[in-house]
Structure 1
Amino acid sequence: MSAVVAQEERRAVDSRVVLGIVAVAVLLSSLDLFIVNVALPRIAEDFSGARISGLSWVLNAYSIVYAALLVPAGRLGDRNGNKATFLAGLGIFVLGSALCAVAWNTGALVSFRVAQAAGAALLTPSSLGLLLAATPADKRATAVRLWVAFGGLGAALGPVIGGVLVEFDWRWVFLVNVPLGIIAILVGIRLLPKPAGHGGALPDGVGALMLIAAVASLILAVVKGPDWGWGSAGVIGAFAATVIFAIAFVVSSRRHHSPVVDPGLLRVPNFALMLGNSLLFNVAFAGMLLSAVLWMQNVWGWSALKTGLAIAPGPLLVPIVAVSAGKLIARVGAGPVLALGGLSFAGGIAWWAQAVTLHPNYAAGLLGGMLLTGIGVGLTMPTGVAAGTAGLPPQQFATGSAVLSMARQIGMAVGVAVLVAALGSPAGPGATLDAFHRGWYVIVAGAVAAGVLGLAARLPKPTTHSR
């Protein structure tokens, strides 16, 4: 798209209108993830006491497929036009949500979650592509922070809404997406801008499949390690498959004219750093969320609603901190903000490891850590996305944001798997507390590593010049 056409598009459609429409989709995709976390214990009861190691695939299948398809989906948006890609993705997500609501066992639910993930992968990068195309260059960093903040709002609302809905039936956590998604589609058809795609080659489908297989086999090895034995043929075979699929992914990416990850993106300032930061931070983030749900419902015996309300204070801070982070970045730079975010998150989890006891005491045990993790997420996630996308050319907005989102989702899948492996199957209250301590200290290590890596980002303040 030429600069003149882009300017006409921005004049024709207010970026605030675009933000309002795409925010609904971003909110739903984020909301759904956090709702499902709260619903897992109830789903286990309904599916004849399914084990958490099996049900973790309800989360991980979504994250893995979402991660692997994000970049091809971003390329489709850049190639064919982000409006059509966004609306198609939202439609598939709504259909997948309806199917999840009628799932009859774990296998069916996991399969339908894959459909949801495919839709979410299509809509996520195209939503940011639409927003950035409709926003002047000097306001794009703010637009990115707002876009990320709506994801944080989904994290805040998810546990509470999920807790309420699960009290009636866990299936409502999926049905809630249907009417909201349909409304967003109808409004989007009329009001979203229609920036032209730049054409080009179709994305590397084989590479995307190899990435799915590599991540899935890695997760399988980590999740099943405690059950099968780390030296068992199954676990060793899964790790070997991970290496083989990863090599196949690299080979396919190098040979294909439209690879999943364009090597040129890695040369964009801060981009490679933000990939690493996002991966490590979301390993910690996913472990934090699932551990909190499992602790409150399975150890303290709290209801899904009470658990959701207990989680909410941390995520509620995310959009507030995310919007405020812009001023802090302007003063000290993106690197220190990312480091502070990682350390704040790690401090919250360390708080839990020291203060949480088998006897329920929310104010002294969980609340302080929950607030610190919320601050950490609000400082880290939007800053990382803004820093990673600041140097992207306009024709790679959707693709670049998709690569960053891919790293985030892979990190979340690994985080769930690592937590499940760390917890194992403890027998007795004392062993349970020790198991959660192991999991929490692994999370602390991931958050600290993310903060140290983020410190290297060099973005003194959000860019104010046009390209």
Structure 2
Amino acid sequence: MRSARTASSATSTRLLLPVLCGSTFMASLDLFVVNVAVDDIGRSFAGSSLGDVSWIINAYAIVYAALLIPAGRWADRVGRKTGFLVGVGLFTVASVACAVSPALWFLVGARCLQAVGAAIMTPASLGLLIVSVPADKRAGAIRLWATTSALAAAAGPVLGGLLVQLSWQWIFVINLPVGIALILLGRSVIQEFRRSESEPMDAFGAVLLALAVGLLAVAIVQGPDWGWGSASVVGTFVAAVLASAVLVWHTRRAEDPIVAPALLRIPSFSRANLAMVTFNVAFAAGLLPTILFMQTAWGYDALRAGLAVAPGPFVVPIFAQLGGRLAPRLRAPRVAALGCLLWAGGLALVALSIGDQPSYAAQILPGWLLAGAGVGLTLPMIVGVATASLPPEWSATGGAIVNVARQIGTVLGVSLVVALLASSSDSGTPHEAFARVLWVSAAASVVAMLVSLVMVRRPASGPAAPAC
């Protein structure tokens, strides 16, 4: 009997990581896979403008960013397993609703529900990983979780391009079998964990936080379309600042605020989140223009462009594993900084190489492989540093903050690309305009490198740096 229980426990442990990583892969993938289907979706709904169709992407990004921290805190309260299963279930049902949408704004609403589910399951999965995996294996598990998320972000255009060949509905239908499998496996292999305190969640703080993050995301996402100096964008930024100010005032007075101030006072946690924002600005500002350049200047279709960026994601897990071996000797901040430098170097090489005449093997591939290596070294290290010092009872909330930082960096990077390409549309050749954007991405990655180097204090002046 004991041996049977031991074998069952070992099986559950082996299945736990694929379940938790599978959920974050699904949520992260959906942020990017829809991009390549926008044209097909727009043609399905006659009379819809490009601005209307863009809300299929924007609504998901805004709701996801706004609800990550409140959803993570809710999962801390009701139980990580409960939150995880609820989030996966809602995401799966909403995906089916997206696939059968009879009208554009029905689809936008279903995408908002998808984002709610993703906002619940993503921090819950990281929180479960932190409390469920033994301490000696936790750093490697966190690296794998972060690598999976990075892989999904870069692989999104590839999978999206393949599925759109069938129909755009398949980018949502594919989530149904995956979601069902995650729920069935999750029920059997995940152990419940919740905070011991019984106080109700800070609902007012949760609303303020969602408003602050959501309004900031709206202003950033809509800035290129509405105009950065327009009353709408300026007013939205002002509203985000006011909501943030009220949140700070409320947090200082609440007995159990939505985000504990002590959490933000952990130096490695705060600095790692700043590194996460800056690197994801560079990541988004490098990935999107590379795809757009191949489609608009070279005439690649969605599938060909997706396959062209695939070599980058292929090297991500290889270098994530290498980073794990380097971290004990070099320390995690230096490994992350090296990855930022590789991303900057890769994008600079592409910027120097691209021309109006297509030559993928000579102009894109070498720099893109170098950039993929940078992602593999950087993102797992940043997530590892951010989560290494989190108390177990705050792991889901802390994981949510990490993902908010990542999402804000992404929307900033995408908005930067749109603004730069719009301002360069009448100056120079297409490859010169895209090259300028890639140089900006490289510069942002250099800033991320500098931030990464100071994520953790040196052992002489503080606690030892995690080797994750």
- Quick check: TM above 0.5? yes
Match of 1:132 in 2: 130
Match of 2:3 in 1: none
What secondary structure sits across from 2:165 in the alignment?
Answer: helix
TM-score (norm 1): 0.88
1:314 is aligned, of 287, 302, 312, to: 312
Shift of 1:33: 2.2
Shift of 1:229: 4.4
Match of 1:246 in 2: 244
Contact 1:53–1:223 (CA<8 Å) still a contact in 2? no
Contact 2:66–2:214 (CA<8 Å) still a contact in 1? no
Q: Check if 1:100 corresponds to 2:67.
A: no
Residues 220, 153 of structure 1: CA spacing in aligned structure 2 closer, same or farther, 3 A cutoff? closer
Contact 1:203–1:258 (CA<8 Å) still a contact in 2? yes
Match of 2:329 in 1: 331
Residues 352, 212 of structure 1: CA spacing in aligned structure 2 closer, same or farther, 3 A cutoff? farther
Q: Distance in 1 between matches of 2:371 and 2:206?
A: 32
Residues 344, 264 of structure 1: CA spacing in aligned structure 2 closer, same or farther, 3 A cutoff? same
Match of 1:167 in 2: 165
Shift of 1:372: 2.0
Residue range with higher mean Cα deviation, 108-117 or 227-236 = 227-236
2:77 is aligned, of 70, 79, 83, to: 79
Match of 1:178 in 2: 176
Match of 1:288 in 2: 286
Q: Distance in 1 between matches of 2:467 and 2:241?
A: 43
Q: Check if 1:407 corresponds to 2:380.
A: no
User: Residue 66 of structure 1 aligns to which amino acid in structure 2?
Assistant: Y
Q: Which runs of 5+ in 1 are unaligned?
A: 1-7
What secondary structure sits across from 2:449 in the alignment?
Answer: helix
Shift of 1:84: 0.9
Shift of 1:454: 0.4
Q: Distance in 1 between matches of 2:34 and 2:100?
A: 15
What secondary structure sits across from 2:364 in the alignment?
Answer: helix
Match of 1:109 in 2: 107
Q: Distance in 2 between matches of 1:286 and 1:202?
A: 38
Residue range with higher mean Cα deviation, 239-248 or 198-207 = 198-207
Contact 2:208–2:247 (CA<8 Å) still a contact in 1? yes
Summarize deviations over 1:235-279 as a string: whole Å, max 9, x none: 332332232233233333333333333211123241111010011
Q: Check if 1:39 corresponds to 2:26.
A: no
Summarize deviations over 1:108-167 as a string: whole Å, max 9, x none: 333222211111111112112222222211221111112222223424543322211111
Match of 1:195 in 2: 193
Residues 93, 58 of structure 1: CA spacing in aligned structure 2 closer, same or farther, 3 A cutoff? same
Shift of 1:358: 2.3
What secondary structure sits across from 1:103 in the alignment?
Answer: coil
RMSD between aligned alpha carbons? 2.8
Residue range with higher mean Cα deviation, 64-73 or 51-60 = 51-60
Residues 253, 103 of structure 1: CA spacing in aligned structure 2 closer, same or farther, 3 A cutoff? farther
What secondary structure sits across from 1:424 in the alignment?
Answer: helix
Q: Distance in 1 between matches of 2:259 and 2:251?
A: 7
TM-score (norm 2): 0.88
Q: Distance in 2 between matches of 1:345 and 1:49?
A: 41
Q: Distance in 2 between matches of 1:219 and 1:55?
A: 18
Residue range with higher mean Cα deviation, 202-211 or 286-295 = 202-211
What secondary structure sits across from 1:407 in the alignment?
Answer: helix
User: Residue 343 of structure 2 aligns to which amino acid in structure 1?
Assistant: F
Shift of 1:67: 2.4
Q: Distance in 2 between matches of 1:66 and 1:174?
A: 17
Residue range with higher mean Cα deviation, 381-390 or 38-47 = 38-47
Contact 1:207–1:248 (CA<8 Å) still a contact in 2? no
Shift of 1:228: 4.7
Number of matched residues?
Answer: 457
Match of 1:439 in 2: 437
Contact 1:60–1:416 (CA<8 Å) still a contact in 2? no
2:347 is aligned, of 334, 349, 353, to: 349
Q: Check if 1:416 corresponds to 2:406.
A: no
Summarize deviations over 1:278-307 as a string: whole Å, max 9, x none: 111112222222222322223322121111
Summarize deviations over 1:7-43 as a string: whole Å, max 9, x none: x9x9687432211222221221122223223323433
Percent identity of the aligned residues? 46
Q: Which runs of 5+ in 2 are unaligned?
A: 1-5
Match of 1:370 in 2: 368
Shift of 1:105: 5.2
Contact 2:427–2:433 (CA<8 Å) still a contact in 1? no
User: Residue 458 of structure 1 aligns to which amino acid in structure 2?
Assistant: V
Q: Distance in 1 between matches of 2:227 and 2:12?
A: 57
Summarize deviations over 1:289-327 as a string: whole Å, max 9, x none: 222232222332212111111111111211221122111
Match of 2:233 in 1: 235
Shift of 1:55: 4.7
Match of 2:63 in 1: 65
Summarize deviations over 1:151-198 as a string: whole Å, max 9, x none: 234245433222111111112111100111012112222232223542
Contact 2:286–2:438 (CA<8 Å) still a contact in 1? yes
What secondary structure sits across from 1:302 in the alignment?
Answer: coil
